[in-house]
Structure 1
């Protein structure tokens, strides 16, 4: 089916609707979920041409639309919430669609005009991109690769509190990949810059889309090689080695940070 046919289908059949307002997604409160309804059931009016088909979840199509392009029926009980709240309450696969919708919305809002010649950009119909007809400059959604790493020293793990963190939990180190370096080089550089610790044998663990606002987190396990902790006071509030059998409060398993820590805990048990 073409996208316009899919939207027509969704007017009378159930679909997941990701209605985005700035960095928030609309959820229904009774029950707590992303709307799974037909367009006719959910909206008084909708600009169907502005909706974007994202894929399929549990055999139902998934659409993204800006809140300004649809009028939700007043009898629908719901509210807009941020992604960091949604991640705790949502099916993780569906959260991935929500993350994509928010990132697409951010991309479309920040690429209305060509960065090369200033002409108004046009949304490309067959892919998520915008195109300038004057100079043929084409832009795609930004994606920023980051490394996140569990550094292990025997039965201990290196954890830190970041200065920008509002949760107060201890977590593994992370940072953006710089141009011209490999992921493994980024792991070593970030750990060295933030804690003065040298690491060896970084090995890939897993990756996770982290839409705050447009990161791709690439997880690694690394081993301690040398050095004493000296923190970068611009970035880190506190860092130390913690016994894996007696950890402070750490991130939940919904995040790759929590998964890395859990993996390290399980390693010493096995």
Structure 2
């Protein structure tokens, strides 16, 4: 359904588009695929394109990420302008991945218009997904930041935490960025110890998820509690506690890997 391709097709016949304005996604909420717009939509609205990236093929049709000028008018009776977060749970995983890839590529191009080494302008290389400095020839590729996300369990109990940045009551798993020279498993142990003060063992890989907020690759794990008492880092964690699988607080939806970790474990222990 969603094929990642680096090279745009020779023909743009029947091309599809994921359109952003000021970092916000433009969606047609009357459509079954709200974030995918057609050539006819672009023509009807007369939007001026500021930036464009080929994404790949969606349902065998070429698809492009577009950024339109901030001053372009968007009809509120037909289109909704919002964040990718608002798309979560409203479309399937493949369509969300398409929109996430579109945003990441547009932001990558925007953020690397000039060389970080010598300051000169860069240009997009037609043969690969890269931007190269016209002077020193340094190439810059789309950045992906690897992160771990882990559900720590203690028998029938799950360790869930409310992050200080959560805007509403939501309890989730622990997560953190992998640092230079660190393995995913080393990062997991460090992050758990830093955020809630406990030690874990029996680390098991679960799955991964591209998370475009902004450009993360989430590596999901389970881990068993080994020792220590919960002691939250107040800069990161507002509160954390052990919750029985049958009495959980509000948790992330299953569209996120955090929600998948939680639901997988609940199903496993409840059917023993």
Name the CA distance, whole Å, in 2 between partners of 1:36 and 1:209: 23
Match of 1:159 in 2: 160
Match of 2:92 in 1: 91
Whether the 8 Å contact between 2:49 and 2:69 is mirrored in structure 1 is: no
Cα distance change of structure 1 residues 235 and 64 upon mapping to structure 2, 3 Å threshold: same
Cα distance change of structure 1 residues 234 and 48 upon mapping to structure 2, 3 Å threshold: closer
Whether the 8 Å contact between 1:43 and 1:72 is mirrored in structure 2 is: no
Whether the 8 Å contact between 1:163 and 1:235 is mirrored in structure 2 is: yes
Whether the 8 Å contact between 1:52 and 1:64 is mirrored in structure 2 is: yes
Whether the 8 Å contact between 2:8 and 2:56 is mirrored in structure 1 is: no
Among candidates 3, 10, 14, match of residue 5 of structure 1:
10
1:85-139 alpha-carbon deviations (Å, 9 max, x no partner): 0122123211111101111111111111111111111111233221012101111
Match of 1:182 in 2: 183
Name the CA distance, whole Å, in 1 between partners of 2:137 and 2:233: 44
Is it true that 1:28 corresponds to 2:28 in the alignment? yes
Task: After TM superposition, list the pairs within 5 Å mapping 1:172-251 onto structure 2.
Answer: 172-251=173-252
SS, match of residue 69 in structure 2: helix
Name the CA distance, whole Å, in 1 between partners of 2:222 and 2:146: 17
Structure 1 stretches of 5 or more lacking a match?
none
The Cα RMSD (Å) is 2.5
1:33-58 alpha-carbon deviations (Å, 9 max, x no partner): 12343x24532557789533212222
Whether the 8 Å contact between 2:28 and 2:37 is mirrored in structure 1 is: no
Match of 1:258 in 2: 259
Cα distance change of structure 1 residues 23 and 73 upon mapping to structure 2, 3 Å threshold: closer
Instruction: Give the C-alpha shift of residue 22 in structure 1.
Output: 3.0
Name the CA distance, whole Å, in 2 between partners of 1:126 and 1:56: 17
More deviation, 42-51/101-110? 42-51
Whether the 8 Å contact between 1:43 and 1:73 is mirrored in structure 2 is: no
Structure 2 stretches of 5 or more lacking a match?
none
More deviation, 172-181/41-50? 41-50
Instruction: Give the C-alpha shift of residue 201 in structure 1.
Output: 1.2
Task: After TM superposition, list the pairs within 5 Å mapping 1:1-150 onto structure 2.
Answer: 3=8, 5-7=10-12, 9=13, 13=14, 15-31=15-31, 33-37=34-38, 39-43=39-43, 45=46, 51-68=52-69, 77-150=78-151
Name the CA distance, whole Å, in 2 between partners of 1:242 and 1:101: 37
Name the CA distance, whole Å, in 2 between partners of 1:74 and 1:250: 35
Name the CA distance, whole Å, in 1 between partners of 2:102 and 2:225: 39
Whether the 8 Å contact between 2:48 and 2:69 is mirrored in structure 1 is: no
SS, match of residue 109 in structure 2: helix
The count of aligned residue pairs is 264
Name the CA distance, whole Å, in 2 between partners of 1:164 and 1:240: 17
